[in-house]
């Protein structure tokens, strides 16, 4: 395909993409190179928590770009200090390291856990470095993050893996207990497994995990790259179960669409020594200024309650849709939800919805028997209704 005088094939092939080029975005709407509009329920894969190009991000970027883009991580800068303060003030954590992607934040979490396991050795005086993660989990695409992930097939694609990651079963505390050895240093999980198909860890499981990790002097790491920053109706999803992890990673929503991520830890865990962690772009003021604008919007009175309300509304509407079309129900937390289709028609629905005229609908099917919904957190009820109506039409067309 050609776009202007450029050939898309000059990009390295990494996945199959539809024959369109995105040129503009506003709120819940995307426009392609032919001027066609799409109601966007991907939002950059749960990244644009305030929709496409929100005014507060435009303002933050415009103001910061004129002031200071990157003084290097060798120096402090104002937006990163401000964002770290906003995050620690609204979470159980004391220290923040900024990164550029969720995978990089998770790499930082693995390093911090291994460092802690070197300082807090086992009874035999050996370093502890093993991390228990979960089947079907997704922690990113670096080699270590892929090794931590429980995605089928990922153990062989770029083998050998980074050693030391062992997979338990989500919501099965005995399966975690069984994997604990004298080398174990941490347990890491997504409070809601996103890529696996929006599977929440139960409140009871989160609480049992906290008790178990404390009993064995293990760290509890929450990967909140997808669930954090208001997505599940609380600022962070761990708050839904009333527990406190030792380490948390953030990505996606924290930057509202720009590359920003974070590694947060309790004071006593934040034990990196000089030179052990860093990165050229980490904590640069241009991205962290955007993070400040996003965080200030999320913590404004009433915002998180509106996410909860709209999440409940979407859940109810998806249940009605499921009943109407004989599907298998819905699940999720806040505005991270899934519709269970009961059969492998997800990819077909995604294609048909995108090709609707005059406006298309952008949906995501992380598993063939399921659709995942990741609207902006400020989506309107009308935009939720519009999606349900468009999707219902597609399901009828498919004889569901
Ligand atoms: C839970 C979770 N962790 C980590 C990542 C990786 O984030 P990134 O793609 O920014 O590296 C993702 C991305 O989907 C994710 O959902």
State the distance from the centre of ligand 1 to the C-alpha of 52, rounded, in angstroms. 19
Tell me what the mean pLDDT of segment 160-188 comes to.
Answer: 98
pLDDT at 178: 98
pLDDT at 3: 67
pLDDT at 273: 98
Cα angle 34-36-37, degrees, rounded to a multiple of 5: 145
Q: Do domains 5-53+304-397 and 55-298 have the same CATH topology?
A: no
* pTM confidence score: 0.97
pLDDT band at 9 (very low <50, low <70, confident <90, very high): confident
In this structure, which residue's CA is closest to atom 6 in ligand 1?
140
State the distance from the centre of ligand 1 to the C-alpha of 248, rounded, in angstroms. 13
**Residues 170 and 136: beta-carbon distance below 8 Å:** yes
Task: Give pLDDT tens digits for 201-212.
Answer: 999 999 999 999
Tell me what the mean pLDDT of segment 63-88 comes to.
Answer: 97
Strands 165-168 and 130-134: parallel
310 catalytic residue (yes or no): no
Tell me what the mean pLDDT of segment 316-341 comes to.
Answer: 98
Six token digits for residue 335: 């505005």
In this structure, which residue's CA is closest to atom 13 in ligand 1?
140
Pick the CATH number of 5-53+304-397 from 3.90.930.60, 3.40.50.880, 3.30.70.1050, 3.90.1150.10: 3.90.1150.10
Q: Which of 44, 252, 255, 332 to mutate to test the pocket of ligand 1 (most atoms within 8 A of CB)?
A: 252
Nearest ligand 1 atom to the CA of 259 is 10
| 329 to 76, 195, 225, 392: CA distances (angstroms) | 49, 18, 25, 14
Can you spell out the DSSP letters for 226-279? TTTTTTTSSSSGGGGGT---SEEEE-GGGGBTBS-EEEEE-GGG--PPTTSS--
State the distance from the centre of ligand 1 to the C-alpha of 103, rounded, in angstroms. 6
Binding residue positions: 102-103, 138, 141, 223-226, 280
Binding residue positions for N(2)-acetyl-L-ornithine: 141
Task: Give pLDDT tens digits for 105-116.
Answer: 999 999 999 999
Give dist(CA 121, CA 39) in Å, integer. Answer: 52
User: What is the domain partition of the chain in residue ranges?
Assistant: 5-53+304-397, 55-298
Is the pLDDT reported for residue 280 higher than 70? yes
Q: Which residues line ligand 1 (CB under 6 A)?
A: 45, 101-103, 106, 138-140, 190, 194-195, 223, 225-226, 251
| 310 to 150, 296, 364: CA distances (angstroms) | 31, 20, 19
State the distance from the centre of ligand 1 to the C-alpha of 56, rounded, in angstroms. 24
355 catalytic residue (yes or no): no
Task: Give pLDDT tens digits for 17-53.
Answer: 999 999 999 999 999 999 999 999 999 999 999 999 9
Neighbouring CB atoms inside 10 A of 28's CB total 24
Which contiguous run of DSSP H or E holds residue 400? none
Is the pLDDT reported for residue 117 higher than 90? yes
252 catalytic residue (yes or no): yes
Query: Phi and psi (nearest 5°) for 250?
Result: -125, 155
**Residues 209 and 246: beta-carbon distance below 8 Å:** no
State the distance from the centre of ligand 1 to the C-alpha of 251, rounded, in angstroms. 7
Nearest ligand 1 atom to the CA of 142 is 11
Is the pLDDT reported for residue 8 higher than 90? no
* Domain at 55-298: CATH code: 3.40.640.10
pLDDT band at 4 (very low <50, low <70, confident <90, very high): low
């Amino acid at each position: 395909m050609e776009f202007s005088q450029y050939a898309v094939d000059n990009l390295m092939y990494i996945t199959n993409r539809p024959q369109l080029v995105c040129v503009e975005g506003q709120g819940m709407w995307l426009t392609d190179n032919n001027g066609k509009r799409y109601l966007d329920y991907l939002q950059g894969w749960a990244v644009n928590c305030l929709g496409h190009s929100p005014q507060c991000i435009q303002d933050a970027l415009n103001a910061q770009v004129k002031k200071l883009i990157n003084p290097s991580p060798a120096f402090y800068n104002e937006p990163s200090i401000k964002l770290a303060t906003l995050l620690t003030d609204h979470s159980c954590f004391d220290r923040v390291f900024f990164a550029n992607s969720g995978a990089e934040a998770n790499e930082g979490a693995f390093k911090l856990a291994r460092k802690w396991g070197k300082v807090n050795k086992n009874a035999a005086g050996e370093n502890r470095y093993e991390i228990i993660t979960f089947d079907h989990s997704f922690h990113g695409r670096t080699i270590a993050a892929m090794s931590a992930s429980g995605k089928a097939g990922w153990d062989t694609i770029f083998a050998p893996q980074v050693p030391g990651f062992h997979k338990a079963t989500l919501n099965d505390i005995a399966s975690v207990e069984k994997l604990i050895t004298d080398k174990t240093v941490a347990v890491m999980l997504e409070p809601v497994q996103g890529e696996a198909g929006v599977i929440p860890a139960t409140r009871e499981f989160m609480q049992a995990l906290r008790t178990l990790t404390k009993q064995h002097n293990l760290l509890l790491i929450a990967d909140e790259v997808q669930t954090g920053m208001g997505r599940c109706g609380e600022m962070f999803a761990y708050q839904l179960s009333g527990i406190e992890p030792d380490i948390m990673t953030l990505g996606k929503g924290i930057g509202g669409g720009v590359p920003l991520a974070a590694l947060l830890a309790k004071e006593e865990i934040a034990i990196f020594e000089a030179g052990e962690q860093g990165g050229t772009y980490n904590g640069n003021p241009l991205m962290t200024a955007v993070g400040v604008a996003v965080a200030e919007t999320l913590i404004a009175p009433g915002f998180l309650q509106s996410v909860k309300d709209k999440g409940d509304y979407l859940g109810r509407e998806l249940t009605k849709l499921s009943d109407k079309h004989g599907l298998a129900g819905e699940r999720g937390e806040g505005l991270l939800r899934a519709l269970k289709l009961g059969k492998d028609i997800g990819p077909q629905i995604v294609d048909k919805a995108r090709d609707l005229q005059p406006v298309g609908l952008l949906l995501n099917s992380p598993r063939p028997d399921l659709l995942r919904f990741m609207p902006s957190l400020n989506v309107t009820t009308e935009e939720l209704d519009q999606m349900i109506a468009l999707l219902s039409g597609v399901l009828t067309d498919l004889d569901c």
